[in-house]
Chain A
Amino acid sequence: MSAASRVPVWAERVYAALLRTYPASFREEYAGEMRAAFRSRWREERQAGGPLGMAHLWLAVLVDTLVTAARTHGEVLGGDLRYAARSLGRRENWSFTGAALLTLALGIGAVTAIFTIVHAVLLAPLPYRDPGRVVRLWETQPALGVDSFPSSMPNFRSWRESARGFSQLAALREASSNLTDGRRPEHVTGFRVTANLWDLLGLQPVAGRAFTPEDDLPGHGPVAMISEGLWKRRYGGLASALGHTLDVNLVPHVIVGIVPQDVGFATGVDLWLPMGRDPELEQNRGDHRLTVVGRLAPGVVLGQAQGDLQRVASQLAREFPGTNQGWSARVAPVRDWIVDAEVGQRLRILLAAVALLLLVAATNVANLQIARAGSRLREIGVRLALGASRARLVRQMLTENLLLATGGGIVGLALAWGCVRAAAAVLPVSIPRRDNLSLDLPVLLVAGLCVGATALLAGLLPARMALRSNVRDALQQAGRATAGGRSPARHALVAVQLALATLLVVCAALLTQSLVRLQQVALGFADPDHLLTTRITRSDTADERIGDNREFFDALVEQVRGLPGVVSAGVSSEVPFGADDTSMTILPALPSASVPKEGVQASWRIVTTGYFQTLRVPLRQGRLFAARGEPRESMVLSEGLARRLWPDGQDPLGREVSLGNRQRFKVVGIVGDVRQLGLKQEPTPTMYMSTSWYLWPTMSLTVRTRIEPAALIPDVRAAVARLDPHQPVAGFQTMRSAIAANAAAPRLNTLLLASFAGLALVLAAVGVAGVVGHTVGQRTRELAVRLALGSTPGQAVRHAMRDALRMCALGILLGLGAALALGPAFKSVLYGVGAYDPLTLLLTAAALLAAATLACWLPARRASRISPCVTLREG
């Protein structure tokens, strides 16, 4: 052969690289022939033509290789899939196939369902333009430990003028209102907002226009925007609703625009009004009522905006020491406001828990596969003897697992779909963005990832074992099922499973304890099962109407008290476990060395005497408010607040206090502490003012009943209508359901985690039992010899379960270690129990060890029934 016709090394290499695209089995068979054929073609083209012919050859070879390689892969995969489907569908494999499918479906389904929630709440972008640049601004008072306080209007305006880290700032405040326009009066949740809010967020009205700065000016007719939901509910979604007049608290407003239902931070807001100019709000720098959001200026990062805002805040503190001394401000991503830290942490813990569950499931399938591989050794041996390559066998086994995992994934997705549909109804209201759950692309990708990962996890170890075995061993072992039987890989998997299950069970036990403690806390008021509350918003909010409103509420209490089944009734500005809190600083009027000069941050409530009697808040000292003629400056304190104001034990009765707004009050009574905000929050120090001081347009009515409280709703509604037929009543709630709602998130969390832990434990136990059962089966002969040599049946059983039980104990220890290491991560969701609670850890370990022992003992009992004579004669 002449040198000129020799194929250059580079061309050989390129063609060899192309050949790698074929399946290994095909390559082993034909690569040599194909290289020879290629060389011949190359020489032919070389002799026949110039560079054009060569280019044509390369192009043809490239296309030909890629097309035929893809087809060959498809054929191999198709063949493997058919083989796997036949093998899995065989009658003797039904129990294996069923168990593996169910296990994987539960694992993948659980991960998919929880990830759907995590995605909707924590990951999916908010419906804003460039949502990462939208931030929430808070006022803070570091000395009092207040880190998230609303802003005052003058402070908001000063920030807007002086802070350079933001391209825009917008403010909103709650303005829930009564709607009347000839139809049934309706109470809706509403907000007053600055005109630039929509532009700042990048939200477009569904129809009509957004507010303009002119809408805030006096002289312009009042306008309103309504939500898409209200638009459809009240106006059938007709365009003619725009321009329609709607009475908001008896004042006619023209509807100018329709707002999308999901505004990111809320989905239940139906009414949007311009901020307007409320003189009290405009002038009082100490009146903190505004929610402020901002958009970071181009190129500015959060830290810079934070520094800039602090600079402005300290400047304001110097300029207005009376209202701003001690106050500062902070900036946080808007999602941190929408999703509070605890909700996020709970979801992350749940996601980690389902990931562990999936791992246990995959390990279980791996374990089942190894057991099967043991009994499939003959099949493997025959195939190796017939010339199948090891790579081919591994591929075959991985394909089988892929088929199983895909089947499990499909069933899992169906399960997840059902769960997500149910979740929309079951998820507690405290979880934001729960209306946005959907199995969308990222969720499907994660489910796909789970399928791939479990196929690999469950398939690699059995496949590796097949790879290691050689023909002779395989055929020999298959012939003598009684020999051997120790499989370190399976025992290691047992340890892994037990460790994962232990971690989950410890976590579930700690959460269960937290939940129990949470439900045992002292509320500070008695018998919540017979309390009904409702909120009533008076439409006429003018200050000169306060007297009328006070008369209305007094008359209402009288009416309700006369209803059959009612014990007592009272009125207050907020109720315990309600949605909102109002707080202010308070100081003894006589300065005291033992109270910080900034005072004490305390909740404040406007109440009638009937409120204390209805909740049965105990009077500790002094008196409650008089039904009529109570002096405006009278105040009742919670005992916790009294202790903080006069820590030296002086008698608080008759003493004067001064509030953050400079008003002075005189203490007339001391009552017990009440948990105002939630089961988890310690009782807040609280001051109570009487209705003779002031009355809000929205007040809560609390009724104590002799009967089931919900049964009284129609009667209370009728009582209101008798006094004022145009007065809407909204938000009836029994105290029992309010408390249940408060514990709903921890309860659901605990329930889910306990189910995952239980499932993991069952899977692990099944895995352990499978290994021990297999061991007994494989070592029947050895055990028979032991029995023949004088072992008691009990000793034989112990011997059969010894190895597996050791691995279980190791796994439990590893799990406890992991739980200790991860303790800090769940600290924030625990209540009344530490992450390292020794009793919980000890009891969990003992229970798991008992379960593991049982799982080992049940199949090991067979060892005691072995008949040495029969076994050894047959063997």
Chain B
Amino acid sequence: MDNELESLLPLPFATFHILVALSDADRHGYAIMQEVAQRTGGRTKLNPGTLYTTIQRLLEKGLIVELSERQDEDDERRRYYRLTSSGKRVAQLELARLTEMVSLGRRAGLAPEEV
């Protein structure tokens, strides 16, 4: 199972951000955009094209699932997405990969002072 999921690494940055945004709550598309912007201090803003083509791919791979439509506070019907266990596992594997990269860089003395 892990082997199959590992073949998806490294994750495109939009994919990783979306998985992270869904890690603590089910969200609809725009909410994912807001969450990503908030978590990155406004440095990363996903556009609708990138967001939904990525969502489509994540759905196809079974990393997220779609929930039935719900009304949000804007009174618009919206689709909500939830992270699956595979999705969570892929995000963990990516995190482990990134961590290893960071420690690799540290050991080489490349880490800036404040990190």
Could you tell me which A residues sit within 8 Å of B by CB distance? 1, 26, 29-30, 33-34, 36-38, 40-41, 60-61, 64-65, 67-69, 71-72
Contacts and interface: CB of A to CB of B under 8 A. Distances in A.
B33 interface: yes
B46 to A, nearest CB: 9
B24 interface: no
A29 B48 CA distance: 13
Interface stretch (B51-59, B86-94, B107-115): B51-59
A41 B53 contact: no
A41 B33 contact: yes
Given A40-B30, A41-B33, A34 B76 contact: no
Contacts of A40: 30, 33, 74
Given A29-B56, A40-B30, A34 B48 contact: yes
24 contacts: A1-B74, A30-B52, A33-B29, A33-B78, A34-B48, A34-B49, A34-B51, A34-B52, A36-B29, A36-B30, A37-B29, A37-B30, A40-B30, A41-B33, A41-B47, A41-B48, A60-B47, A61-B47, A64-B47, A64-B48, A64-B50, A68-B49, A68-B50, A69-B49
A550 to B, nearest CB: 93
A34 B30 CA distance: 9
A67 B48 CA distance: 12
A33 B50 CA distance: 13
Nearest 9 interchain pairs by C-beta: A64-B47, A68-B49, A64-B49, A34-B48, A37-B48, A30-B52, A68-B53, A40-B30, A65-B49
Given A61-B47, A64-B48, 19 more contacts: A29-B56, A30-B56, A33-B28, A33-B29, A34-B29, A34-B52, A36-B76, A37-B48, A38-B48, A40-B30, A40-B74, A41-B30, A41-B45, A41-B48, A61-B49, A64-B49, A65-B48, A68-B53, A71-B53
Contacts, number: 56
Contacts of A65: 47-49
Most buried by A among B28, B30, B48, B79: B48
Nearest to B54: A68
Interface string B12-37: 00000000000000001110010000
Interface of B: 28-30, 33, 45, 47-53, 55-56, 74, 76, 78-79
Contacts of B53: 26, 68, 71-72
Most buried by B among A37, A38, A68: A37
Contacts of A68: 49-50, 53
A71 B55 CA distance: 14
A41 B45 CA distance: 10
A37 B51 contact: yes
Contacts of B50: 64, 68
Most buried by A among B45, B53, B76: B53
A28 to B, nearest CB: 12
A63 to B, nearest CB: 8
B53 to A, nearest CB: 4
Contacts of B49: 34, 61, 64-65, 67-69
Contacts of A61: 47-49
Nearest to A48: B42
A140 B28 CA distance: 87
Nearest to A64: B47
A73 B41 CA distance: 33
A112 B70 CA distance: 59
